[in-house]
Amino acid sequence: MSEFISRIDFAWPWAGVLLFLPLLTHYLFPAKQPVSEQVRVPFLPELAEALQLSAPAPQASWHHRLLFWAVWILMITALARPEYLMPPKTLIKPMRNIVLILDVSGSMEKNDGENGQTRLQAVQQTVRTFISQRKNDRIGLVIFASQAWPFAPISEDKQALQSRISQLAPGMIGQQTAIGDALGVAVKLLDHSLEADASKMAILLTDGNDTASQLQPTLAAQLAAAHHVMVHTIAFGDVNSSGEDKVDTALLENIAHITGGNAWRAATNRDALAQVWQQIDAQTPEQVKTLGLSWHRPLFIWPLALALLVLLLFAISSTMMRRSA
């Protein structure tokens, strides 16, 4: 009980001075006697005795005074706005923003995975698992092929992000690969995030080499480093292939080195890629901030309701007494 009372406070404590207002008006401004015209009445003593005019003026009874002061105190208490300070509630605030940069070029349609699975299907399955494990991170999505597009904003809404992952299709924005442009879009997306105090990280996955960027990948990596964005890279593809289909592992390692990230290699099968995502998840633990928030719950409705109840009961009892008299 003492703890409950200690958590009660008044938003407007100065309203308490109004408690003495009736006393001030009573003593500083006494009731004035009504001024009336005088008429000479020869039989005034007999009339006064018949009308009992000599009797003292009726005074308010003690229960009427008690009623007035009880209602007045309750009304002033409500006016002072009592509040109850709720116990602090622990909230977890994510402190890392992640952007997934996924390749959706035409080469991701190759079905050299397990059971004829395409490369993009393997990426979609493993990325969904990674997203479900990062419960306290804000994650966005950038896709790239011939162009680079932000496909999902940075947010804590994992369900919406999973839905966007399901909508990916090979060649949906072209057949080529614009790695540098995609990294530049990711840096811009992270810079425009509302959570300025959160750390920034990007994970770049591709199965080819840069063939369509207007922004050179090395310059994009330097831009990311200047904006404090750590970039992890995943080379997903057949290193023995040639031409534009060969994954540029040297470029990906250079991007990771410039930005302070790590470079991984994964074969075209789903299990190998899943192991890479697990390593990234293990090496980049979630960053959160614990907040203890309290708020005030208003209590003025209780003294106000009690005052109205007292007045209502008094009105009912007075009506019943007059009817019974």
pLDDT number for residue 314: 86
Residues 6+ apart with CB under 8 A from 183: 101, 202, 204, 215, 217, 220, 221, 223, 224, 231, 255
Mean confidence (pLDDT) of the chain: 85
Convert the pLDDT of each residue in 255-277 to its tens digit.
999 999 999 998 878 888 999 99
Query: Do 109 and 241 lie in a common domain?
Result: yes
What's the number of domains the chain is made of? 2
Q: Say if strands 296-298 and 82-85 run parallel, antiparallel, or are unpaired.
A: antiparallel
Q: Does 254 reside within a domain?
A: yes
Instruction: Assess whether pLDDT exceeds 60 at residue 55.
Output: no
Query: Do 126 and 268 lie in a common domain?
Result: yes
pLDDT number for residue 177: 93
Q: Does 54 reside within a domain?
A: no
The three-class DSSP label of residue 98 is: strand
Query: Do 7 and 139 lie in a common domain?
Result: no
Amino acid identity, position 250: A
Amino acid identity, position 302: W
Residue 237 zone, left/alpha/beta (φ > 0; ψ -120 to 50; rest): left
Range with the lowest mean pLDDT among 136-140, 142-146, 235-239, 272-276? 235-239
Q: Does 210 reside within a domain?
A: yes
Q: Does 34 reside within a domain?
A: no
Query: Do 181 and 160 lie in a common domain?
Result: yes
Query: Do 12 and 149 lie in a common domain?
Result: no
pLDDT number for residue 167: 96
Range of the domain at 14: 2-28+59-87+295-324
Residue 190 binned pLDDT confidence (cut-offs 50, 70, 90): very high
- CB-based contact 174:135 (threshold 8 Å): no
Longest dimension (CA), the chain: 135
Q: How far apart, in whole angstroms, are the C-alpha atoms of residue 64 and residue 62?
A: 5
Convert the pLDDT of each residue in 273-310 to its tens digit.
999 999 998 888 776 666 666 778 899 999 999 999 98
Mean pLDDT on 203-223 = 94
pLDDT number for residue 56: 58
Q: How far apart, in whole angstroms, are the C-alpha atoms of residue 82 and residue 98?
A: 44
Range with the lowest mean pLDDT among 16-25, 102-111, 256-265, 269-278? 16-25
**What's the predicted TM-score (pTM) here?**
0.66
Query: Do 275 and 307 lie in a common domain?
Result: no
Instruction: Assess whether pLDDT exceeds 90 at residue 251.
Output: yes
Name the residue with higher pLDDT: 17 or 6: 17
Q: Which of 160, 97, 153 is nearest to 128 (CA)?
A: 160
Convert the pLDDT of each residue in 84-96 to its tens digit.
888 777 666 767 8
pLDDT number for residue 195: 76
Query: Do 80 and 134 lie in a common domain?
Result: no
Q: Does 46 reside within a domain?
A: no
Instruction: Assess whether pLDDT exceeds 70 at residue 45.
Output: no
Q: Does 33 reside within a domain?
A: no
Q: How far apart, in whole angstroms, are the C-alpha atoms of residue 280 and residue 261?
A: 10
Residue 245's domain is classified under what CATH number? Answer: 3.40.50.410
Q: Does 35 reside within a domain?
A: no
Instruction: Assess whether pLDDT exceeds 70 at residue 248.
Output: yes
The three-class DSSP label of residue 143 is: strand
Query: Do 152 and 256 lie in a common domain?
Result: yes
Residue 179 binned pLDDT confidence (cut-offs 50, 70, 90): very high
pLDDT number for residue 221: 97
Query: Do 136 and 264 lie in a common domain?
Result: yes
- CB-based contact 108:129 (threshold 8 Å): no
Sign of CA dihedral 92, 256, 279, 139: positive
DSSP 197-257: TSEEEEEEEESS---S-SS-HHHHHHHHHHTTEEEEEEEES-TT--GGGS--HHHHHHHHH
Q: Which of 90, 94, 92 is nearest to 197 (CA)?
A: 94
Question: Nearest 5 degrees, angle CA 260-CA 227-CA 211?
Answer: 75
Query: Do 116 and 9 lie in a common domain?
Result: no
On the CB side of 262, CA atoms within 13 Å amount to 10
* Beta strands in the chain, from DSSP E residues, in sequence order: 8-10, 82-85, 89-94, 96-103, 138-144, 148-155, 199-206, 229-236, 263-266, 288-293, 296-298
pLDDT number for residue 7: 80
